[in-house]
Chains A and B, each alone.
Chain A
Amino acid sequence: MIGGGNAALCAAIAARQRGAEVLLVERASREWRGGNSKYTRNFRCVHHEPDAVMPGRYDEEEFFDDLMQVTGPETDRELARLCIARSAEAPRWMEANGISWQPAMRGTLHLGRTNRFFLGGGKALVNTLSARAEGLGVEIRYETPVLDFTIDGDRCEAVTLGSADGEWKLDPGAVVLASGGFEANLSWLEEHWGAAARNYAIRGSRQNDGLPLRRMLEYGALARGNPKGFHAIAVDARGPQFEGGIVTRVDSVPFSVMVNENGERFYDEGEELWPKRYATWGRLIAEQPNQRAWSVFDRQVVDRFMSTVFPPYRADSIAELAGFCSLDPGALTATVAAYNASLNGGSYDPARLDGLATVGMVPPKSNWALPIDQPPFYAYPLRPGITFTYLGLGVDSDARVRRAGADSFQNVFAAGEIMAGNILRRGYLAGFGMTIGTVFGRIAGEASAGV
């Protein structure tokens, strides 16, 4: 098993339960183990009746429709349906392996009907599954990167592993790749996005350089998913370049005007309810000069969104605020003044698309367009934060890695983010990454034990 996140751990447990002798190699140290899984919080699953943590029901058709809406028709429908169908039994399997759930969420509009939340989040899940795997007799080696594979036709004959004592070769009966995407590999991102890639924050594991993915593609594995594609959101530019996780996310956009480093607006901040739009802003900011943007708002809305990890800049005038943001005071003042002068004066209602909009402004702000005129004024500096990349390895319904123009590999399997591109071509559904990891981790683990 290559990787230390949810998919690798599920594969390891499933294979061990089928009687296989399992070695799990995680390139991160023990403290950093768990890949992007440690930053997750929940997973999406089918359920036919309410239970202790999920109200209502969520059937396969609704799940499938939700997926189609975000990812479009190019998805591998067979794998998507398999993943969705197998998600129904996943919670019981996870519970049997020690996972606990958060009780039903508070609040009115929430994901409780479609998603189960891990008690304590993804790192708690990684801790539990790692302990469970070791308890079952899985050997886990940390700081053990995969350097290469020895491929002969449709078989992997050996895996070259790194360690403190140098390289060594392992001759496994089967290999499961669950090593994630390549979003932390800046030079790979640069191949597609140029120097701009250096300005992105990588929200998850700094270990995800995608080396096993690249090697397998070189050895003839079928590529799946947009090779340039990534999922990104707006994060606080003051956050760390890697491993910022959930906390650097900023949700002020619909309450603000967004400007680039010229002090100019560039997109409709009030296009849709925020949960439907938060993931578009990563790409929008990535398209701005130096991949920077600032979310500017005033006292009226400062407490209206999730509190953030760094306080916003704060000033008594827009010009002073521009100074904190290293923006031209004249340009920012002009943008805010033009915005304030264009408002249609409708009534404000954050609970719906309220039609409180700009008139004659390009681009417009279509909803929640309150004037920005009550000091103090605030701003968050933002940059794109990449969550994951879409490029992956094509797999069949046994999670066997497919070869381009040939049969699948006999003993190479893939699970989790490294094969999510089969199902997720673009967009994202909350909690679906962990669904893919859990379902295909189990499938890959069980199938690999049968090799």
Chain B
Amino acid sequence: MSELQQLVDEAQRQFTICNACRYCEDYCAVFPAMEERRLFTEGDLGYLSTVCHDCRACYQACMYTEPHDFAINIPRLMAEGRLATYERYARPRWLARLFDRARSTLLGAVLAAALAVLVVYLLASSAETLLMGNEGPGSFYTVFPHAAMLIFGLLLAAWAILVCGIGAVLFWRDIGGRQGGVRGPGLWWRTLVEAGELRWMRGGGDECHFPDEEKPTPLRRYTHSAVAGGFVLTFAATVAAAIEENIFGILPPYPVLSVPVLLGLIGGVLVTAGCLGFLWMRREAPAELTAERTSRLGEAFTWSLLVVSVTGLALLALRETNLMGPLLLVHLAAVFAFFLTAPYGHLVHALYRSVAIARSVQERAAIEAEEASGTAAGLELVMVAPGEEGAE
């Protein structure tokens, strides 16, 4: 039996117990979706595990966790389900194995990026530029040519968008999104809101039980928002820089009090703080509530992003010294490595989770409509009303 089939069988076992219990149905969107199904496919596992935000509220509330024989462990199952989902929709297929080897993948990407940066530098720039420091607008391009930066950036972005786009479309089809009810801007807006505010990380209102299973806090939501928000700000900084350069004709480095630098600075600080927070939380969190390989994937991502933002901040801080050249090269290598691993790393969770949330929005709208029209499983409601079945 394949590993994936074993995982689907285990999901069937655990979800069947969950469906006979239903105490967790108000923690998040996962359990109501589970209740709509009795038999679970690979696609269902992908859907449910990516809607899951790993808040672990269900685990602390579950009376069937180990040492109980039922050995329910939804957070771990979902962590495995997410990784299996990333692998399943990764294209080309033979690169799917990169997910399982997060550390080697990152290391390989770093070496490749460093080599590429070094080769370009050696070919295009003269040795004395390395330690020349900031000599005004255009200094960065003296060390590393603008054209190379642009080509690398665009190629990597195109690659990531292509691979992720294929994965998202395959996943959306597999989980029934094309047949779903709600569509158009309404769907995307609700998805954006639910994903953006991390609604399903709130554990039904009591907040997230990560890292400390027993003390729910909003810490992870804040940390995640710092990383995601910071990431968006640094992206905005890049766009702003492109506008300055291409529309206003001003070449970098830009002064501290300029839009690109301020956006990058704030974004970089947020990402750095968030990544450090995640590294600390992961160390504190109990290992049995996650899958080791999923954890490694997250950790590789965090380190990669941390190095990008720290080298970026260092470049800003030290650009007036003669370390500007070496720091620029290191930073560029870090950025290229990050984007090289993007379609085969933890970053894809944002993509699959958004797709799954969109499907969940569709599904909940359909259930609401059904209930409003009174055609819901009226029988079940009358004979064994939800609540009554658990209401002894």
Contact = CB atoms under 8 A, between A and B. Distances in A.
B207 to A, nearest CB: 10
Interface string B50-75: 00000001101111101111100000
A220 interface: no
A246 interface: yes
A274 interface: yes
A305 B383 contact: yes
B205 A428 contact: no
B369 interface: no
Contacts of A131: 214-215
Contacts, number: 157
Interface in A24-70: 31-32, 34, 38-42
A214 B68 CA distance: 28
Q: Interface size bucket, B side?
A: 35 or more
Contacts of A431: 391-392
Given A102-B26, A105-B386, A107-B386, A306 B391 contact: no
Contacts of A123: 60-63
A430 B389 CA distance: 10
A100 B16 contact: no
Nearest to A41: B390
Contacts of B60: 120, 123-124, 127
Contact of A32 (B23, B67, B384, B392): B67
B381 A304 contact: no
Contacts of B63: 34, 38-39, 121-123, 243, 245
Interface of A is mostly: loop
B387 interface: yes
A303 B384 CA distance: 12
A350 B382 contact: yes
Interface of B is mostly: loop
B204 interface: yes
B90 to A, nearest CB: 33
A350 B62 CA distance: 32
A41 B23 contact: yes
A243 B68 contact: yes
Given A120-B23, A127-B61, A108 B381 contact: yes
Contacts of A351: 378-379, 382-383
Given A124-B60, A124-B61, A305 B387 contact: no
Given A106-B371, A305-B380, A246 B390 contact: yes
B17 interface: yes
Contact of B69 (A121, A240, A304): A240
Interface string B1-38: 00000000000000011011101111100000000001
Nearest to B13: A309
Contact of A308 (B20, B27, B58, B386): B20
A166 interface: no
Given A108-B385, A351-B378, 7 more contacts: A41-B391, A107-B381, A110-B381, A110-B388, A254-B383, A304-B380, A351-B382
24 contacts: A41-B23, A41-B390, A42-B391, A100-B206, A102-B26, A107-B385, A108-B381, A109-B385, A110-B381, A117-B387, A123-B60, A233-B392, A245-B21, A245-B63, A246-B20, A247-B17, A254-B383, A273-B383, A274-B383, A275-B385, A306-B380, A306-B389, A311-B16, A430-B391
4 cross-chain pairs, A with B, having the tightest CB-CB distances, nearest first: A120-B61, A121-B23, A124-B61, A247-B20
Interface of B: 16-17, 19-21, 23-27, 38, 57-58, 60-64, 66-70, 204-206, 214-215, 371, 376, 378-392
